[in-house]
Amino acid sequence: MTFLKHLILLLIVLFLTQCTPKTAIWLIDNNEIIDIRIHAAGSGTGPCEPTICISPKDQNVIVAGSVLNNVYVSKDGGATWSKDKLKSSFGVFGDPVIRFDNLGNAYYAHLSNPDGRAYSSPSFLDRIVVQKSSDNGKTWTDGSFPPGDTLTDHDKHWLAVDPIDNSILMSWTEFDAYGSKEPNDKSRILFSKSIDSGITWTPPTVISQEEGDCIDDDDTTEGCTPAVGVNGEYYLTWSYNDRIFFDRSLDKGKTWLENDIVVTSQPGGWTYDIPGMGRCNGMPIIDVDHSNGPHRGNIYINWSDQKNGEDDTDIWIICSKDGGDSWSEPLKVNNDIGKSHQFLTWMDVDPITGHIYTVFYDRRNFNDNRTDVYLAYSTDGGLSFTNIKINKKSFENKDIVFFGDYNDISAYNGSIRPIWTQQDNNILSVHTALIDFRKK
């Protein structure tokens, strides 16, 4: 072959090499994951039911919270934390939820206890309160709330922020009387939003067509979480009567579907038994891919149930690519072999990369109540998941103390910060992990 032919062949190879799409390999080095203890109990209730959010304006700024009124702030990406107590004239009584808007404002939603007499005052649980911080968690407003019936009980809320206009979405359960076994007392899913950074809220809209009981069990409409679509759609999901429901609004919450969509069954219901846990649930979490990647617009719902048996709790995910009209078959997220318990999952979709992250408790490594914490992630739109253990020290669940009903996780541009509760000798502590997801 002549020199000229060699040169032409080399140029062709170089051209094809540059033009052929390369598949990015993403890597989490398990050896580099650092388990950070944020707060350990001294006395009293908690800390548990932790929540966390990375600021989209500065990834080094993270705000977290836990039961009953703890607020934590990190300015170095989660390596170190300050701790304070949230105060409000409306009372702060747990179920913390923290989210940032794109302006850098943080919002902390929680249950109310205006009289300071939990379970004994008529005003207990009379509203969902949202407090705002414009200085990265240093100071907070006294709080605002949707107008509504203060004679009913309001519980199990969650927040989402519209990345297009910074509206704050909130969904929750209204009980005629929390815990009541009276057949005439009902529960329903409510929705409200704020378009002025949490100063005022729209009157609550009843979302669920079916009302449940008030017992706080499988036949209660509960566990509703909101999400926003890439074109400003509003999406909601919740559990009731062995099913997971979905509803949507295409006009910013003015109108909703005439009939809620049942997206999947939840065999055994949203409550189930886990040895060593006083109570446990598999309530669903919804999120949307806002990235500019190939799965932009996908809607994901993540939950847990015992469809494989009472001795084999699993984590599941489904996906819709058409705005919620149709859904994929449930895919098992945990990749263990055999029967074991995986429970209390939470999910976030990185709005920059589109990768899906779930955090959950896992007992695959033991035959007793010893527990680990796992992260599962997907880079292919939820078609497959990689599982990695992220806690430093395993722990044993004992129902002698209230362990909490949920955890949380925040992901932004490859920074992943899960948050969870551990139990060591009946002492609760809240942890995060420093996880960075990068191209190799």
pLDDT in tens, 58-79: 999 999 999 999 999 999 999 9
Query: Bridge partners of 372?
Result: 362
Q: Is the pLDDT reported for residue 17 higher than 60?
A: no
Overall average pLDDT of the 19-48 stretch: 71
Whole-angstrom distance, CA of residue 439 vs CA of residue 301: 26
Confidence of residue 344 (pLDDT cuts 50, 70, 90): very high
Confidence of residue 326 (pLDDT cuts 50, 70, 90): very high
Q: Is the pLDDT reported for residue 7 higher than 70?
A: no
Q: Is the pLDDT reported for residue 316 higher than 50?
A: yes
Q: Is the pLDDT reported for residue 44 higher than 90?
A: no
What does the pLDDT read at residue 400? Answer: 87
What does the pLDDT read at residue 221? Answer: 98
How crowded is residue 360: how many other Cβ atoms within 10 Å of its Cβ? Answer: 28
What does the pLDDT read at residue 9? Answer: 43
Question: Which is more confidently placed, 160 or 32?
Answer: 160
Q: Give tens-digit pLDDT for 347-367.
A: 999 999 999 999 999 999 999
Q: Give tens-digit pLDDT for 395-437.
A: 999 998 899 999 999 999 999 999 999 999 889 999 999 999 8
Q: Return mean pLDDT, the chain.
A: 93
Which residues fall within 8 angstroms of residue 141, CB to CB, at 6 or more apart?
131, 132, 133, 198
Q: Is the pLDDT reported for residue 394 higher than 90?
A: yes
Q: Is the pLDDT reported for residue 30 higher than 90?
A: no
What does the pLDDT read at residue 224? Answer: 98
The string of DSSP letters for 344-374 reads: EEEEEE-TTT--EEEEEEE-TT-SSSEEEEE
What does the pLDDT read at residue 43? Answer: 64
Overall average pLDDT of the 295-304 stretch: 98
The string of DSSP letters for 357-422 reads: EEEEEE-TT-SSSEEEEEEEEESSSSS--EEEE--SS-EE--TTS---S--EEEEETTEEEEEEEE
Q: Is the pLDDT reported for residue 20 higher than 50?
A: no
Q: Is the pLDDT reported for residue 280 higher than 50?
A: yes
Whole-angstrom distance, CA of residue 16 vs CA of residue 355: 29
